[in-house]
């Protein structure tokens, strides 16, 4: 039973740490400086705790459950707004194939030479 609790604990820590990492990115983009500092502090404490336990015990099950929890945390952040329509950025949304205008011709190397 102790093994199952360890797996669940490290998965929960990995999930919360990656949730915090993605939330930190959002806080940085929004300019929420005080929240950013708090999130980074908590992230570092959690990460160092897992790292110290892994180094002390050399238990790869810790690493695997921590990584699985991290993937779950990233998934939770990605799925928080399931009804929100995902739209690509302006660069990706418009491609030359979408427009009716033609691209200008590419100059040849001979055009770049000075006239004599």
Q: pTM score > 0.95 for this model? A: no
The pLDDT tens digits of the residues spanning 30-60 come to 888 899 999 999 988 988 888 888 888 888 8
Residue 53 lies in a domain: yes
User: Low-confidence residues of the chain, pLDDT below 50?
Assistant: 91-92
Cα(73)–Cα(35) distance, rounded to whole angstroms? 19
Residue 82 lies in a domain: no
Residue 42 lies in a domain: yes
Cα(34)–Cα(79) distance, rounded to whole angstroms? 26
Residue 92 lies in a domain: no
Residue 27 lies in a domain: yes
Domain span including residue 9: 2-77
Residue 98 lies in a domain: no
Residue 19 lies in a domain: yes
Residue 40 lies in a domain: yes
Cα–Cα distances in angstroms (integers) from residue 50 to residues 37, 38, 54, 68, 90, in the given order: 20, 19, 6, 14, 40
How many domains does the chain fold into?
Answer: 1
Please tell me the predicted confidence (pLDDT) of residue 86.
55
Please tell me the predicted confidence (pLDDT) of residue 42.
92
Please tell me the predicted confidence (pLDDT) of residue 41.
93
């Amino acid at each position: 039973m102790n093994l199952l609790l360890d797996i669940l604990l490290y998965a929960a820590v990995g999930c919360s740490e990656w949730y915090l990492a993605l939330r930190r990115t959002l806080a940085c983009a929004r300019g929420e400086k005080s929240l950013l500092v708090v999130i980074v502090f908590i992230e570092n404490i959690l990460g160092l705790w897992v790292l110290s336990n892994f180094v002390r015990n050399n238990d790869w099950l810790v690493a695997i459950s921590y990584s699985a929890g991290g993937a779950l945390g990233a998934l939770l952040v990605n799925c928080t707004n399931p009804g929100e329509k995902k739209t690509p950025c302006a660069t990706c949304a418009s491609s030359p194939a979408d427009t009716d205008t033609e691209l200008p011709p590419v100059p040849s190397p001979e055009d770049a030479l000075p006239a004599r």
